[in-house]
Amino acid sequence: MPFLLLILSALGGAIWWWVRNNPRDALHVASDVATTVKNAPRKLAFRRQTGAHPVEGIDDHRIAICAIAQAFIELDDLPTREQRDQLHVLLRSRMRTSEEEAQEMEVLGRWLITQCDGAKPGITRLGRRLHKIDGNASWGVLQEILMDLVGGTLSYGQIGAIEDLKLALRK
C-alpha cells in the first residue's frame, strides 16, 4: 500500500510540475479531453439538437433498431438478463457490430427510451425516426430481431407495438 501511494504521489507531482511549466499545453490538453468527451456520442451517429427531442438526433438506423428492440422487450415487464444477453448477441450477429459498439448502442437505446417516457411511446417515436432515416429498408432486420427476441409468442402489448411500427414504417 505505501508503494502504491508513492507511485501515485510521484505521478501527481509529475503532472503538477508539467502543468506549472507548460500552462498553455495543459489548457490545450484539457480542452481536447473535454471535446473528446463531448463528441463521444457522435461516434455512434448521434447528435444532440437544442430544442429538439433526443430521438431526432439519431442518424444511424442501427441505434433506432436497438432502441426499438429494447423497448419491445420492456413492454409487458422488465426484461430478464437472458433477454438482454440475447439482444446483445442479435445486435452483434444481425447488424455486424463490435462488442464495444453493441454495448454503446444498448446504453444509448435505454437512455432514448427513458427520454420518450416509456417503452410504448418510445416504439412509436423511434419507428417514425427509423422511417425518416432509411424508409422501409430496415423493416426486415427489425422484424427478425423482434421475432428472435420473443420466441414466436407475442403478448397483447407487443402485437399493438408491431401494428404501431407497421404504421410508422408505412408497411
Q: Say yes or no: 24 and 95 in one domain.
A: no
Instruction: Give the Cβ contact number of residue 120 at 10 Å.
Output: 16
Q: What is the pLDDT of residues 101-114, one digit of tens each?
A: 888 888 888 989 98
* Together in a domain, 66 and 125: yes
The residue assigned the cell 463528441 is 39
When divided into structural domains, the chain yields a total of 2
Q: Are residues 67 and 14 in the same domain?
A: no
Percent of the chain with pLDDT over 90: 14
pTM of the model: 0.70
Q: Are 19 and 102 part of one and the same domain?
A: no
Q: Are residues 25 and 62 in the same domain?
A: no
| Three-state DSSP state, 74 | coil
CB burial of 87-105 (b: ≥16 within 10 Å; e: otherwise) equals bbebbeebbebeeebbebb
- Show the domain range for 15: 2-38
In a domain, 47, yes or no: no
Q: What is the pLDDT of residues 2-59, one digit of tens each?
A: 788 888 888 787 777 777 787 777 777 777 767 766 665 555 555 566 677 888 888 8
Answer whether 63's CB lies under 8 Å from 46's CB.
yes
